[in-house]
Structure 1
Amino acid sequence: MSYRYMRLIVMFDLPTISPKDMKNYRIFRNFLIKNGFMMMQESVYSKIAVNQSMAKLIANRVRENKPPKGLVQMFIITEKQFSRMEILVGEISEEYITDDSRLIIL
């Protein structure tokens, strides 16, 4: 069976002025974390999906749980494209899976 791993990347800029805005921010961020997204940097989260149809299902769930205000952007790329990301400043985190093998031992 062949898998084409996809990576969903969600970027957001949400208002945090009022207490209600802060609550919406926390709810959305917790939704991402509980659904397996990992933080790449502040307000940028990613999640790996087994194939494109699964990535679309995950994207629909993000759309259903988006906050009422602010900017949320999302895109889907292949895992191969994601692995070619160039780190210009900073260090590579070992928390991210950059291998497309099926079994990964942590």
Structure 2
Amino acid sequence: MERLNEYRVMWVMVFFDLPTETKKDRKIYSDFRKKMLKDGFVMFQFSIYIRHCPSRENADVHIKRVKKMLPERGHVGIIRVTDKQFGEMELFIGKSPEKVETPYLQLELF
């Protein structure tokens, strides 16, 4: 088995902007969000959800799941980045930098 490293470990990010004008739209939005959470995604920002994946192949599995649950209307973007790229992200609250906190701790067994 290939050892996990910051170039092999992936993050899947899903960005979405779905309509919420009607009660039906809000239900579709809510169902999509609940399915994302059930698949292990966590909210990074409003309408941006992320999921940690131990490999590109695992990331592909979760991307396929997201594609199967896409709503008929709205905009959805999916991107896969390495753990190294994710760690290079700069976050700010106003003009103050904030440390990037990952929602998962990586455990490696030998």
TM-score by length of 2: 0.83
2:30 — aligned with what?
26
**Alpha-carbon separation, structure 2, partners of 1:93 and 1:82:** 9
Q: Please tell me whether residue 102 in structure 1 is matched to residue 73 in structure 2.
A: no
1:45 — aligned with what?
49
Structure 2 unaligned residues grouped into runs of 5+:
none
Superposed displacement of residue 93, structure 1: 6.8
Higher percent of residues as strand: 2
Decide whether the 8 Å contact of 2:89 with 2:100 is kept in 1.
no
Superposed displacement of residue 101, structure 1: 4.9
Decide whether the 8 Å contact of 1:5 with 1:100 is kept in 2.
no
Superposed displacement of residue 89, structure 1: 2.0
Alignment-mate amino acid for residue 84 of structure 1: E
Q: State the Cα RMSD in Å.
A: 1.9
TM-score by length of 1: 0.86
1:79 — aligned with what?
83
SS in 1 for 2:90: coil
Question: Which digits, 9 at most, give the CA deviation of each residue in 1:18-72, with x for residues without a partner?
Answer: 1110010000000011111011110000001111011111100000001110000
Decide whether the 8 Å contact of 1:9 with 1:46 is kept in 2.
yes
Task: Please identify runs of 4+ aligned residues in structure 1 that moved more than 3 A.
Answer: 90-95
SS in 1 for 2:93: coil
Alignment-mate amino acid for residue 78 of structure 1: T
Q: Which moved more, 1:23-32 or 1:83-92?
A: 83-92
Larger Rg: 2
SS in 1 for 2:76: strand
Superposed displacement of residue 102, structure 1: 2.4
